[in-house]
Amino acid sequence: MIEQRARLVPPLAGKVRCPWPGEDPLYVAYHDGEWGVPERDSRALFEKLVLDGFQAGLSWITILRKREAFRAAFDHFDPEKMARYSEAKIASLMQDKGIIRNRAKIESAIRSSRAWLKVEEAEGFSNYLWGFLGGKSIQNSFREMSEIPAQTGLSIKIAKSLKARGFGFCGPTVVYAFCQATGMVNDHLVSCWRHAECRALQFAAQGQEAAGAPESRAVPHA
């Protein structure tokens, strides 16, 4: 059983990190290099949201191990290409053993690509999502895994808005996991070395805004 406190895990000797990656090298690398890093690229956010939708009912490591196969199967999550997928393409995806062959999730990903195109054209998908947070990451200070919620009022609000705009498989729990992964919420335990690293990335972004970089602004959402 994995302890609920941050602990020492290879391969970075002496680094204390969150317990959930265990000792799986792929999972550890994901924790150390991606999870919790503020992501502001619209296409990258779309990919992560779709993959989190495929994760529903499964573990993230299952999706992570298939991520490259997903990218190949879905044209590297190019929304314009996905929006034009035909029944023949769906049938082909249902035969692809490298991905999760769930027709409802596949069709949802296609619908989500069409929804993304509309949001991207209107205001930018990244601006839309970060607008819920006023452009800034939420910095939590959890010490135990048991303190971290499965969903929050914010994830409920975002999920409701996404669904209204045509996105699928984006309930409050999926959305909260998405927010954690994309750095909208910093849920590394405070004892984890990545907590301070991801917090610093947020303040670095704020410094760039103060220096004159474009600022993400909160916008009203349905």
pLDDT(213) > 70:
no
- DSSP-based helix, strand, coil % in the chain, nearest 5: 55, 5, 40
- Distance set, CA 163 to CA 52, 112, 146 (Å): 15, 9, 29
**For residue 205, what pLDDT is reported?**
64
pLDDT(74) > 70:
yes
Instruction: Give percent above pLDDT 70 in the chain.
Output: 86
Mean local confidence (pLDDT), 189-213? 77
Question: Is residue 201 situated within a structural domain?
Answer: yes
d(CA 40, CA 126): 6
Question: Is residue 139 situated within a structural domain?
Answer: yes
Number of domains observed in the structure of the chain: 1
Q: Look up tokens 């800034």; give the residue.
A: 136
Q: Indicate the range of 14-28, 110-124, 141-155 predicted with least confidence.
A: 14-28
Q: What is the pLDDT of residues 168-193, one digit of tens each?
A: 999 999 999 999 999 999 999 999 99
d(CA 213, CA 23): 39
CATH number at residue 92: 1.10.340.30
Q: Provide CB contacts within 8 A for 135, sequence distance 6+.
A: 209, 215, 216, 217, 218
Question: Is residue 19 situated within a structural domain?
Answer: no
DSSP 140-197: ---SSGGGS-S--HHHHHHHHHHHHTT--S--HHHHHHHHHHTTSEE-S-TTSHHHHH
Question: Is residue 123 situated within a structural domain?
Answer: yes
Mean local confidence (pLDDT), 24-43? 97
pLDDT(214) > 80:
no
Question: Is residue 34 situated within a structural domain?
Answer: no
Mean local confidence (pLDDT), 78-98? 98
Q: State which residues form the domain around 187.
A: 42-210
Question: Is residue 14 situated within a structural domain?
Answer: no
